[in-house]
Amino acid sequence: METLIQTTLQNQFIAAWQQAPIDVMPALNAERTKGFEFFMEKGFPTLKDEEWKYTNIQSALKKNWVLNAHNNIEIDFNDIKQYIINQEEHHLLLLIDGKFYPEYSSKIPGAHICSLQEAYQVHHELFMQYFSKQLSTAFNAFTALNTALANEGLFIYVPKNTIINKPIEILNLNGFEEEDVFTHSRNLIIIESSAELSLLQHSHSFQENATFTNVVSECFVGAQGKLNYHTLQLENADSCTVNTVQIVQEKDSLCNTSSITLGGKMVRNDLNFRLVDKNCESHLYGLYLPAGKEHFDHHTFVDHASPNCYSNEFYKGIMMEQGTAVFNGKIIVREGAQKTNAFQSNKNILLSSEAKIDTKPQLEIFADDVKCSHGATVGQLDEEALFYLQSRGIGKDKAYALLVSAFAQDVLQQIALTTYKTYLENLIEHKLKSMFKD
């Protein structure tokens, strides 16, 4: 049965590949063929694959997924409004099942924003210069498949010296189709030298039905450029996401990321940094709260390929009920990347005996004049702290929720967008309340 369903899905991929109009983005054909052949040869990973050892992707694939054909969807904006965090303080870009809907999106002065296919036409040279350039050396099944089959997605180009002051809220709403769809979507974000951009990308399920989203975002930050990239996953308990973000930083650039995972059956976030020139600074913050039968997996990879760069990573996890999570943080300091400062910390608390975390920090250093540290902790809530709160009259459930929120605070306080931060605090409080109520 398992094999049959997967064969069905694989047959859909093959059919899509064979039917793909070669004239959609013809200059990509060689790259796409490479991706497709990679996938056909390797297939989806199993638990034997070191990078997927603790995330059973085979079980997430075990469903009658229908490959998304990206039909145009009639949208009533009133149905969407409730998902928007703040339309006054943020620009809005709307993606429905991975497809960009410009008619419901803001016009953003200074930035060039369009769909992937339009970018291929309008910004062809730029597009070809960047598309898949950093991925293809290290394809995995999902990025390979995405490269082969993704025709939809978002393109953001911020030219040299342009500063986009207002944060851009990218709203991903999934599950508009009748069936449980498997979607590929691809985003390309180019920030040229001395340009600045803040993104706030959040994904939700629009309906009850399940979705499987395989999204790849490639970000390029030019010399002295600045990118803030916040992501939030909040999908329903049947939906799966594999989200790969590849960030390449040029000289003197700065990148702040936060990755918050609050909902989904299986969420896998791969966040890869390549620091290709001197004096780059990268901050990676993350927070995950799986409950029920949710499984959240965060893989990060910081590639210090140049000297004098700084990276700081701080991820925290709160596992409740039967929730499980994976943290795998890899740092490589390449030969010649002297004066590297690379720090990583992962802290977890387990709130039930059935909750689980697999955490694995990895540090590989090939330079001799560097400062690096990493560490991971797994614990329970401090009983003495709990008693302290109770002894002031605070009920046990509320005390629990207060302590858990407090545990999350030092990640949240790194988020400079106050409206977004408050939004997150409310979501977390809500999730905790539903956990601890009798």
Which residue ranges make up the site for another protein (CB under 8 A)? 382-385, 387-396, 398-399, 402-403, 405-410
Nearer to another protein, 364 or 382 (CB): 382
Angle at 258 between CA 255 and CA 263, to 5 degrees: 155
- CB 426 to another protein: min, Å: 15
Structure tokens given for 214: 């395989």
> Which string of b and e fits 159-178 if b means at least 16 CB within 10 Å?
beebebeebbbbbbbbbbbe
Nearer to another protein, 119 or 262 (CB): 262
Residue type, 369: D
Nearer to another protein, 125 or 383 (CB): 383
- CB 438 to another protein: min, Å: 13
DSSP for 426-438, please give it. Answer: HHHHHHHHHHH--
Instruction: Give the Cβ contact number of residue 47 at 10 Å.
Output: 13
Nearer to another protein, 304 or 316 (CB): 316
Report the length, in residues, of the chain. 438
Nearer to another protein, 288 or 407 (CB): 407
- CB 338 to another protein: min, Å: 35
- CB 380 to another protein: min, Å: 13
From CA 337, how far away is CA 182, in angstroms rounded? 40
- CB 285 to another protein: min, Å: 15
Structure tokens given for 313: 């990573």
Nearer to another protein, 358 or 429 (CB): 429
Q: What are phi and psi of 27, to 5 degrees?
A: -65, -15
- CB 414 to another protein: min, Å: 13
Sheet with 168-174, side-by-side order of all strands: 99-100, 91-96, 168-174, 196-205, 226-234, 254-263, 281-288, 310-319, 341-350, 371-379
Judged on CB neighbours under 10 Å (0-12, 13-18, 19+), 259 is: buried
| Nearby residues of 121 by Cβ (< 8 Å), 6 or more positions away | none
Judged on CB neighbours under 10 Å (0-12, 13-18, 19+), 46 is: exposed
Nearer to another protein, 67 or 403 (CB): 403
Nearer to another protein, 409 or 422 (CB): 409
Closest alpha carbon to 206 in 234, 244, 168, 243? 234
Alpha helices in 81-169 (DSSP H): 116-122, 124-130, 141-149
Q: What are phi and psi of 7, to 5 degrees?
A: -65, -40
From CA 119, how far away is CA 115, in angstroms rounded? 6
- CB 116 to another protein: min, Å: 41
Nearer to another protein, 43 or 379 (CB): 379
- CB 413 to another protein: min, Å: 8
Structure tokens given for 44: 């989806």
- CB 392 to another protein: min, Å: 4
- CB 286 to another protein: min, Å: 17
Nearer to another protein, 81 or 392 (CB): 392
